[in-house]
Structure 1
């Protein structure tokens, strides 16, 4: 396998609206990110993935783009972006732009033109269908944000497709003019020196709505290969696709270097394991830990050298892991957060950190619809109210799965508004910022931040972490996750207690080892009878006589 720079990189996702406000209007911005670059360099990350900063009416917080080559004024200017790229580069950090090309905003000039008449030159940039004879929607496709995926345009008496908000009309990728426009836009950004693209719901661009096919359409990979040839294939950049429906076999189609498509994909099989089968994400069940381990092991082994893993717990859509599957109580938050970090960062693949994860930020419970900003959550609330769900049931789901959990402002210090802004924050902070913040973590040798720095450094200094083979141990254990990583005759053993209850790991081969890193200061190295405390995680280097 050819080694690439992004194999041993660590990516840090910045949600610009919530990272750092430089002008005290309550909204994070590009100058704020520039102010915090030294912090990110100190953490050790190599890539910043920017959630969308383009011009947008913000129906879906920037994922509804009205101009791909203009910057939203609330974030700054194009000059600010260029300065961010330059200053990041001086610190060895690349910028990953968020590419949202399944849909645009309905305020994009293409859609404004397209909706003027059926004969408009831009009409075929989007997907239109006539009403059925009774005036009903063309078919049963539903929006991810609830309701029908079809919206009637009264002026032309046709429905347009929107897999998300009705203000996010889907582009027609079958139209070569659409593809050409998108490739020109991508090259506009590549020429500015960005480090690549994160591709929003890229597996939907090959949809065939008349056949109810929304993901993995038959032309999907033709489009991506064409995109590669026309744009980023000419650059040494990272490309990662958001692919909710991917299996390992599908992921190989995207990321096998021979196919010349993407560097890697995000797959979400592990994220949906606490979801009731066939139900929306809001309807949850208890996580099956055996199943979780099986999913991670499958992705670690089945990709082989014909694909590359993206490793993540959180992003702008997926709430805080330490709250949902760990323990965010004051007693266990720190060790729990460190355990999840160990779990992930010692696996094969490129790790992604969502802002605040490195200091153990937690979910923020709400009790009123007035506290909610996210369109998806608002739509869910209204839908469940109309279906007579109890308030308690609705907010139980929101507090576990709502996207505002991730999007609250970054907690920098214990001053007013956590050092994020001197104005009124666009979204309320978690009240715990006086006790959980960056400054406090930076000043503690035993902090989550310090632990993340060590994990990132291990990846930089040990090719075993990046390229080593993976072998799961004790797959049927209901509390322990143990696996080995082996490379060039060296083997590391990673043992993690996923729960609060104490447990024991007994090495079947009675090997000896030295500790590389652990989330308790006094972890034992007795592999023959290893007692693990709540959420304890230990990484061992096996002694030479046991190396493979």
Structure 2
């Protein structure tokens, strides 16, 4: 059984909400979301019950990867507004009792960042060693076989200085050399700039990639590679990612955060869970949360989910805190992955598991992927590999007016055709809506210690039904029963007494019913039961 800690911090009890700023709300009619747009929608987030918003990159950038190619770590891209707009957004977020987290991208910069322009200018420039420059092999071949996430070699030849530089992503995103202490200090100063303003922490992009093998050894082939997988998955990236030295960098980043009260750091770490949890570190030397992305990839079935959750809970060390994510800007939306009915079950799962949940914008109303024709692709991954992330990044659907209330101009990505039916305003008026379900779950989660800090225990996982218990000493216990299939099912537990009242149901008519001994579940139904 996974157990609670003695003291819960805001990021342990709270709920994080990811905003992809281009797509949340446009305030000036240019078709792209911005900071003043976010500001205008803060009350929606407060009413939803959000504790912290994580805003994807808003820094100056050529936008080759929509902000994940930073040209200035201390500024605001004019597309999103001004620093004054940001300061007002931060003030108003705090005024509503919410926190604000920024995306930090320390693995790489834009090739237009002044640091790289200097580094590229000559081999003897003082910033040459701020990036990863190497000679090629005989015959002009790259230094090794490492490949880019976006396809092709990770090495780009620079004609002017006759060397290759390394880029894990686009060639316009050169990787920083985190073995250089000057790079460390420059990024740490950028962190302090925002922390001094009052930002509550960072979600750190591509954390597991920040250190590479010093010997530049070739990555071995992946014996499990299958057709249809991305080209970068042909290799096992054992030398280009998750190097042991990266934990020293994370420790130093944590030390910067710990100089400020109640700040926190989330690591983006796309690794197997047994490796990802190591980024928590010990004695406050790692991240506060290592993003747990398992729900993106696990089969949507009771047994595999229960097994994965139990394994994850057992891997967590004393002092670690779990977290769960259903979607983000890199993945297909949960409603498209599992269907609309099961998306309601997924919401109940996310908001009742032990740990900190993160909600991706639009999940609270059941937004789904929007088909984007190839000629309209914006995402460089889609353009290069044919697998676009654009369908999961489309504009937020606020109401049934023209352009879904997102903009008065032409939206940067097309808006879902279902927006007249699937939007915030309409769902605010419907007690059975996905939005209402989120609000009920979040409200109860906030009120009940068992749900926001209590123990977790799997009760049952069979071919269809997944049930688990949340329990906190001296407080009501809750049983969560999820039918992960489309057919009816019967739940009759053998290890606990099933007697209580349904506090929240994915099918609203079931709210408040009494449960005693045996439970008949409809297909695609989830029940949150307060036990007697």
Q: Distance between the aligned counterparts of 1:510 and 1:41, measured in 2?
A: 37
Quote how far apart the aligned CAs of 1:98 are.
Answer: 0.2
Number of the residue aligned with 2:363: 357
Distance 1:252 1:157, change over 3 A: closer
Asked if 1:410 is matched to 2:396, the reply is: yes
Q: Distance between the aligned counterparts of 1:370 and 1:131, measured in 2?
A: 36
Q: Distance between the aligned counterparts of 2:332 and 2:279, measured in 1?
A: 29
How many correspondences in the alignment?
502
Number of the residue aligned with 2:271: 245
**1:17-53, Cα deviation, whole Å (9 max, x unpaired):** 0111100011100011111111111111011100000
Q: Distance between the aligned counterparts of 2:369 and 2:491, measured in 1?
A: 31
Asked if 1:345 is matched to 2:332, the reply is: no
Tell me, yes or no, if the aligned pair for 1:270 and 1:296 is still in contact at 8 Å: no
Mind listing any 5+ residue stretches in structure 1 that lack a counterpart?
275-286, 328-332, 382-397, 544-548
Mind listing any 5+ residue stretches in structure 2 that lack a counterpart?
220-238
Q: Distance between the aligned counterparts of 1:438 and 1:266, measured in 2?
A: 27
Given the alignment, which residue of 198, 216, 227 partners 2:242?
216
Number of the residue aligned with 1:277: none
Greater shift in the superposed pair: 303-312 or 157-166 = 303-312
Number of the residue aligned with 1:435: 421
The normalised TM-score by structure 1 is: 0.88
Quote how far apart the aligned CAs of 1:106 are.
Answer: 0.4
Q: Tell me how large the CA RMSD over aligned residues is.
A: 1.7
Tell me, yes or no, if the aligned pair for 1:99 and 1:199 is still in contact at 8 Å: yes
Quote how far apart the aligned CAs of 1:514 are.
Answer: 1.3
Given the alignment, which residue of 433, 455, 463 partners 1:478?
463
Number of the residue aligned with 1:295: 308
Quote how far apart the aligned CAs of 1:500 are.
Answer: 1.5
Q: Distance between the aligned counterparts of 2:516 and 2:159, measured in 1?
A: 70
Tell me, yes or no, if the aligned pair for 1:506 and 1:527 is still in contact at 8 Å: no
Tell me, yes or no, if the aligned pair for 2:119 and 2:125 is still in contact at 8 Å: yes
Given the alignment, which residue of 306, 320, 333 partners 1:320?
333
More helix by share: 1
Asked if 1:33 is matched to 2:20, the reply is: no
Distance 1:88 1:231, change over 3 A: same
Q: Distance between the aligned counterparts of 2:391 and 2:449, measured in 1?
A: 35
Number of the residue aligned with 1:105: 110
Aligned residue runs from structure 1 range 31-430, under 5 A: 31-208=36-213, 210-211=216-217, 212=219, 213-248=239-274, 250-254=276-280, 256=282, 258-273=283-298, 289-303=302-316, 305-325=318-338, 327=339, 333=340, 335-366=341-372, 368-381=373-386, 398=387, 402-430=388-416
Distance 1:250 1:312, change over 3 A: closer
Tell me, yes or no, if the aligned pair for 2:211 and 2:243 is still in contact at 8 Å: yes
**1:350-380, Cα deviation, whole Å (9 max, x unpaired):** 11111100000011124x3113211111111
Number of the residue aligned with 1:464: 450
Quote how far apart the aligned CAs of 1:420 are.
Answer: 0.5
Quote how far apart the aligned CAs of 1:246 are.
Answer: 4.7
Q: Distance between the aligned counterparts of 1:174 and 1:61, measured in 2?
A: 27
Q: State the 4+ residue runs in structure 1 displaced beyond 6 angstroms.
A: none
Asked if 1:507 is matched to 2:493, the reply is: yes
Q: Distance between the aligned counterparts of 2:145 and 2:275, measured in 1?
A: 29
Tell me, yes or no, if the aligned pair for 1:322 and 1:340 is still in contact at 8 Å: no
Q: Distance between the aligned counterparts of 2:421 and 2:509, measured in 1?
A: 25
Tell me, yes or no, if the aligned pair for 2:301 and 2:484 is still in contact at 8 Å: no
Q: Distance between the aligned counterparts of 1:196 and 1:345, measured in 2?
A: 22
DSSP 3-state at the match of 1:67: coil
Quote how far apart the aligned CAs of 1:521 are.
Answer: 2.4
